[in-house]
Amino acid sequence: MKKNIVGMLPEDLVPWLGREGEPSYRARQILRWVYEKKVSSFRDMSDIPLGLREKLSASFVLGTTRIAEVQTSSDGTKKFLLVFPQGDSVEVVAIPQRSWYTVCLSTQVGCPVRCPFCATGRAGFRRPLAADEIVEEAWRVSQNERARITHLVFMGMGEPLLNYGELTRALRVFNSSEGLGIGSRRITVSTVGVPEKILQLARDWPEVNLALSLHAPSDDLRNFLVPLNRTYPLKEVLAAVREYLRLTRRRVTIEYTLWQGLNDGEVHALQLSRLLRGLLVHVNLIPGNRIKGTPFVPSPPERVVAFAALLQKHGIPVTLRRSRGQDIRAACGELYRIHGLRGEVADDYCPEKRCNAAGN
Ligand code: SF4
* pLDDT of residue 322 exceeding 80: no
Q: What is the model's pLDDT at position 351?
A: 30
Say whether pLDDT at 115 is over 60: yes
User: Which is the closest atom of ligand 1 to the Cα of 191?
Assistant: 3
Residues serving a catalytic function are: 91, 332
Contact residues of ligand 1, CB 6 A cut-off:
111, 113-115, 118, 120-121, 157-159, 192, 332, 352
* Domains present along the chain, CATH in parentheses: 3-61 (1.10.150.530), 66-356 (3.20.20.70)
Mean pLDDT, rounded, for 263-271: 98
Binding-site residues for S-adenosyl-L-methionine, please?
158-159, 190, 213-215, 289
Say which residue, 217 or 287, is predicted with more confidence. 217
- Is residue 166 scored above 60 in pLDDT? yes
Can you tell me which atom of ligand 1 is nearest the CA of 192?
3
Strands (E), the chain: 3-4, 60-61, 66-72, 78-83, 89-96, 101-104, 108-110, 125-128, 151-154, 187-191, 209-213, 252-258, 281-287, 318-320
Q: For 62-71, write each residue's pLDDT tens digit.
A: 999 999 999 9
Minimal-distance CA residue to ligand 1 atom 4 = 115
* Residue 344: pLDDT over 70: no
Q: Is 90 exceeded by the pLDDT of residue 356?
A: no
Atom of ligand 1 nearest to the CA of 114: 5
Alpha carbon separation from 26 to 10, 12, 18, 55 (Å, rounded): 9, 12, 10, 13
pLDDT at residue number 306: 97
pLDDT band at 324 (very low <50, low <70, confident <90, very high): low
